[in-house]
Amino acid sequence: MFDFSALNWWAILGCMIVCVISGSTWFNPKTFFTVWWRGIGKSESDIPGNGQNMGIVFGLTFLSSFVQPLIMAIVLHLMFPNGATIIEGITTGCLLWFGFVAPTYLVNKLFAGHPIYVWAIEVSNHLVNFVLFGLILSAWK
């Protein structure tokens, strides 16, 4: 059985906050939102979340922002039980991103018929997050 008390819950919470800030910055109208929005086939007259329960959208967004660093913290603890160095943390983040996030999103975008730049915008944000998760989780002792 995994010992969840071995995890740094403050670091995980910090990663969650960083993830939310990163995503809201990345998909801000002054950064990548407009290009991404057009790339997924939406027009300026389309309203984000129109017809959706935004409480569910944001609730699941926060849940995802918690689960990702939680699982990364578990992976880091299993791989480096005495604590990961910053380089090991960042490398682990890059490998998890490269092995799971980037290819999964690529397949989804290809089958959805979205342009490759939509994939690049989305996975680049996740790369930033996973690198920051590795940095935070390994540095915050």
Tens of pLDDT, residues 41-57: 998 888 877 767 889 98
CB 80 within 8 A of CB 88: yes
pLDDT of residue 46: 86
The tokens 């690529």 sit on which residue? 106
Which of 62, 61, 88 has its CA nearest to residue 75?
Answer: 88
Task: Name the least confident of 47-51, 113-117, 122-126, 134-138.
Answer: 47-51
- Compute, in degrees rounded to 10, the torsion defined by CA atoms 136, 138, 140, 141: 170
Query: What pLDDT band is residue 140 in, cutting at 50, 70 and 90?
Result: very high
DSSP per residue, 61-103: HHHHHHHHHHHHHHHHHHH-TT---HHHHHHHHHHHIIIIIHH
The dihedrals phi and psi of 132, each to the nearest 5 degrees, come to: -65, -40
pLDDT over threshold 90, residue 96? yes
For residue 23, what are its two tokens? Answer: 């995503």
Q: Cα–Cα distance between 70 and 76 in angstroms, integer?
A: 10
- What pTM, to 2 d.p., does this model score? 0.93
Q: What is the mean pLDDT of residues 103-123?
A: 97
pLDDT of residue 92: 98
